[in-house]
Amino acid sequence: MPDSPAAIHAKGFASDNISGIHPEVLQAIAEANGGHVPSYGADPYTQQLQQVIRGHFGERATAYPVFNGTGANVMALSLLTERWDAVICAHSAHINTDECGAPEKLGGIKLVPLETPDGKLTPDQVARAAGGRGDEHHAQATVVSITQSTELGTLYSPAELQALVTAAHDLNLAVHLDGSRLGNAAAALGCGLGELTTDVGVDVLSLGGTKNGLLGAEAVVVLNPDRVRGPLFLRKLLGQLPSKMRFTSAQLTALYEGDLWRRSAAHANAMAARLADGVRDLPGVVITRPVQVNAVFAVLPRPAVERLHDQFFFYDWDQTTGEVRWMCSFDTTEDDVDEFVSAVSAAVGD
């Protein structure tokens, strides 16, 4: 347990999911907390969410609210695969590195992770990885999974997405997009959510919420219903069907009905840019990757990292290189960033 109330409310830079709930989302939960409504999605809040989702992703889109990002990804990939199928992804993708084998164990899906310097797949890589289909000795490549923004804080441009999705479809591969930080990507690129998904031909989307100020809500959004089978049954089978779905749907509606998703994501992105600008010229600090969304990756002397760990919560990203990751969220303030920059300066100065 934390030693004091101050420790409970201390700001960290480990992830954008260590933040609290956005006040507008908390209000939406409170407003949904009156009276009795039907359960398991037969409620007016979930019906309203469907209209919001179609406003972003088109009239064929259907949202299936779930509890968390791992559940969303496993459900989305399972909708597109059979037990003998394989999913092509970047080696750094969350489905490959941070989901405890859930796609393999729960979905029975073989992952084909490809090395990328920046977390981004290319059409040529996908074409090379899609071989062996029709041979019973090989898992059948059926899906390409893209992450936007990537785990390395990088972005696919709409043109890059279009080229990748077109190449996948030409090979008869479905496309899943892990959009746990889709809002950050759209805010950084100055475009809409649909421009990065429906408009380029993505088939199924894992739509994020928890990393952008929700209590704990994500959604599987089926963009191309011709590609999937049994989403209602699969959600239940995987333990991702909320009984009191109104509270999950109310959160997602609060985030996506207006511009809250963009405001929150753009602020997080701006705080990361401020942080990077504050530390990039400090002696011994090297920014290792482009700062395009709300993540800053850096290398600095190990004694400085250990001193900072005593004061702030953040993750060592790569133990072999000493690379660390600092994340900003919707509630990161300029004062939070400036305090952290001062601490970095003092740590490397010593």
Average pLDDT, the chain: 96
pLDDT digits (tens, 9 = 90+) for 279-304: 999 999 999 999 999 999 999 999 99
Under 8 Å between Cβ of 337 and 330: no
CA gap 45, 22 in Å, rounded = 19
Nearest to 149 by CA among 193, 110, 112: 193
Fold that domain 5-19+260-349 belongs to in CATH = Aspartate Aminotransferase, domain 1 (3.90.1150)
- CA 109 to each of CA 40, 95, 98, 245: distance values in angstroms, whole numbers, following the listed order: 27, 11, 15, 28
CATH architecture of the domain 32-256 equals 3-Layer(aba) Sandwich (3.40)
Predicted TM-score (pTM) of the model is 0.95
Q: Is the pLDDT of residue 197 over 60?
A: yes
- What is the domain partition of the chain in residue ranges? 5-19+260-349, 32-256
DSSP label at 19?
S
Under 8 Å between Cβ of 80 and 174: yes
pLDDT digits (tens, 9 = 90+) for 248-269: 999 999 999 999 999 999 999 9
Q: Is the pLDDT of residue 7 over 90?
A: no
pLDDT band at 1 (very low <50, low <70, confident <90, very high): very low
